[in-house]
Amino acid sequence: LKYAFSAPEGSEQARIYRDAYQGIGVSYNDFNPQLGYPISVYLLQGARIASLSNRLGLNYEWNLGLTFGWNPYDEEENPDNRLIGSKVTAYIGLDLYLRWILSRHVDIELGVNATHYSNGNTQFPNLGLNTVALRLGATYYFNRHQAHIAHRYESLPPVEHSLNYDFVLYGAWRQRAVFEDGEPYMLFGKALVMGFNFNPLYRVNHWLKLGASLDATYDRSANLYYDVNYINPDATDMYRCPSAFKQMTLGLSARAEFTMPYFAINFGIGKNILNANDAFSGIYELLALKVSMSRRTFIHIGYSLNDFHTPQHLMLGMGWRFGKP
């Protein structure tokens, strides 16, 4: 079940971001007793990719939120659930669908949906869960005036090319696992992660910005080492923390940002240049959603990977925008 709103028909925003809508959604998931029957609450945004006729369009929609009510892994009570280790996870969804305008008030939609559930390494196990499904639905418009795709051939207003600078402070927590004799071993407790991004971006057109970023990270779980003569007084493992300097890194990344009303999706690929070994080696990837709070401030919700497959940590923080918004 979803509720969304869009810019008034004929407005400049409607001309630039054709058929764009944004809102909130809620869904109920019927999995199995091991996983549970969780409920997802999320933000959403979608828009038209292409017009196929006066009544038929190809659209996309993304979802981002939280899923509550999992039956998490428990060694004694629920050992069969080796995917989800927490009662709450992140929810990420992407839809690609055909939209047929049936009447002035009703659309019919047919497409595919892909979703991903993960807790961002805040608690193990965290193999995550992926689903692919058929999307079939109907949308009712309360005050739409036209029964066809609007602005199909209309020219866009000119874009103002500009440069802005986004500065982000973020923090998170994570759980770390190590391998002993080829077997994974979960370390006790949670570790602090925090950092910043300084990200100059050049506006290419209404929807795209390109730039680079200086990325700093401090990960309290990074580069731990085994010491047989040491016992952690708060746990039973024998892993020591190195100096704080060895748990810090600085990297450079290339960034691309897809901008829409109220939201921007930022993607980056980079390489660490300070302490670029062990936990900070390889190529890192960042995916973040920026939720505008004002012209100069935004909420930053992101996730970091290594080499496109190794989960790292969440990036939850605030951002400030300098220069031309």
Lowest mean pLDDT, pick from 166-180, 197-211, 305-319: 166-180
Quick: pLDDT tens for 206-230: 999 999 999 999 998 888 877 766 6
Whether the pLDDT of residue 296 is over 90: the answer is: yes
Rounded mean pLDDT, 252-270 = 97
Alpha-carbon distance of 131 to 199, in angstroms, equals: 33
Catalogue the E-assigned strands of 119-207: 129-140, 163-174, 177-180, 183-186, 191-203
CA–CA distance, 288 with 301 (Å, rounded to integer): 5
Choose among 285, 284, 316, 312: nearest CA to 298: 316
Average pLDDT over every residue of 156-165: 90
pLDDT value for 5? 96
Output 181 or 235, whichever has higher pLDDT.
181
The CA distance from 150 to 307, in Å, is 42
Mean pLDDT (whole number) for 269-293? 94
DSSP state of 280: G
Measuring CA to CA, how many Å separate 162 from each of 12, 149, 210, 316?
A: 19, 31, 11, 27
Amino acid 179: pLDDT: 64
Residue 140 has pLDDT above 90, yes or no: yes
Nearest to 100 by CA among 154, 24, 48: 48
- 258-269 burial, b for 16+ CB within 10 Å, e for fewer? ebbbebbbbebe
Query: What H or E segment, with its residue span, contains residue 319?
Result: strand 310-323
Predicted local confidence at residue 282, as pLDDT: 93
β-pair partners for 116: 92, 130
Please report which confidence band the pLDDT of residue 233 belongs to, taking 50, 70 and 90 as the band edges: low
CA distance 239 to 173: 18
On the question of pLDDT at 258 being above 70, the answer is: yes
Confidence (pLDDT) at 235: 55
What's the mean per-residue pLDDT of the chain? 90
SS3 category, 298:
strand
Instruction: Indicate the pLDDT class of residue 120, thresholds 50, 70 and 90.
Output: confident
pLDDT tens digits, one per residue of 81-99: 989 999 999 999 999 999 9
Q: What is the mean pLDDT of residues 182-207?
A: 86
CA-nearest of 97, 4, 98 to 45 is 4
18 or 188: which leads in pLDDT: 18
| Per-residue pLDDT at 185 | 62
Judged against a pLDDT cut of 90, whether residue 150 lies above it is answered with no
In angstroms, the CA 122 to CA 316 distance is 12
Q: Look at residue 228 in the predicted model and tell me its pLDDT.
A: 67
Residue 20 confidence class, pLDDT cut points 50, 70, 90: very high
Q: Cα–Cα distance between 96 and 266 in angstroms, integer?
A: 20
162: which residues sit within 8 A by CB, 6+ positions away? 202, 203, 323, 324
Q: What percent of the chain lies above the pLDDT cut of 70?
A: 91
As given in the structure block, the two tokens for residue 144 are: 């739409």
Q: What pTM value is reported for the model? A: 0.89
Q: Who contacts 275 (Cβ-Cβ below 8 Å, separation ≥6)? A: 223, 245, 246, 248, 249, 250
Residue with tokens 């009662």: 87
* pLDDT > 60? residue 236: no
Bigger pLDDT: 92 or 238? 92
pLDDT (mean) for 17-36: 94
26 and 19 Cβ atoms separated by less than 8 Å: no
Phi, psi of 47 (to 5 degrees): -165, 170
Per-residue confidence band for 278, with pLDDT thresholds at 50, 70 and 90: confident
Residue 178 has what pLDDT? 66
